Amino acid sequence: MKLIIGITGASGAIYPFQLLTFLREKTNHDVSLVASPNGRRIFKEELGKDLEMFDYPLFGGKDFDVPFVSGSAKYDQLVIVPCSMGTLGRIAHGISDDTLTRTADVFIKEKREMIVVPRETPFSLIHIENMRLLALSGVTIIPAIPSFYSRPQTVEQTAATVTSRILDHMGLENNLMERWKTPPLLASPQGGR
C-alpha cells in the first residue's frame, strides 16, 4: 500500500512512534510522512527523537508540490496520529491551508481510506460536531483512548492498545496487545427459578 502518516502538534507522540516502528519493522509499504512544525517539536520533546530516524520521506507543513495533494495521485490510506483538534476542525470544514489538510481534503473527496486519531480531553461540543462531520464523510475516528482489560503494565503497553486498533483499521495484522477473550461462563445462581 501507499500510506501517508500525518503528525500534528497534539500531545501523544508515542502513537506515531509505535505505528511507524511497526510499519518500518513489519511491512514493506510505501510510507510518506507529513509533519507540522509543532508535530516535529512535540515528537522531539516527548520522545527525545527525530522523525528522520524512520528514514521515510518527510514533508513539511506548506509543501504543495508533493503528489498526494492531488486527487490524480494514487494513495491508499491517510492516518493522522495524533490529530490536533485544530487540524480536525480545519479538515471538517474544508480549510486546506497546509499540506496535511489539503491531503485530507483530497482523501475525503476521492473517498479514500482515512483515519484520524484525536488526542484531547474533554471533548467540547465543537470537537464532537467536527468529528460528526468527518464521520459522515466516511472518515474513521479512533480517539487515543486506551483500553485496560489486557492489564497493561507500562506506558508503552497502554499506548499499544490504541496503536493496535489503528493497525487493525488499516487492515494490518498485529499482536501489539492481548486480544479480548470470552470470559469463562459464570456458574448458575444457586436455586435458579
86-136 pLDDT, tens digit per residue, is 999 999 999 999 999 999 999 999 999 999 999 999 999 999 999 999 999
DSSP secondary structure letter of residue 178? P
Residue 182 pLDDT grade (very low, low, confident, very high; cuts 50, 70, 90): low
Distance CA 134, CA 74 (A): 21
Q: Residue 48, SS3?
A: coil
Q: Which fold has domain 2-169?
A: Rossmann fold (3.40.50)
Q: Residue 38, SS3?
A: helix
The grid cell for 181 is: 477473550
**Would the pTM of this model clear 0.75, i.e. be above it?**
yes
Residue 180 pLDDT grade (very low, low, confident, very high; cuts 50, 70, 90): confident
The grid cell for 97 is: 491551508
Distance CA 161, CA 146 (A): 5
The residue ranking higher by pLDDT, 48 or 187, is: 48
Distance CA 131, CA 116 (A): 9
Q: Is the pLDDT of residue 85 over 70?
A: yes
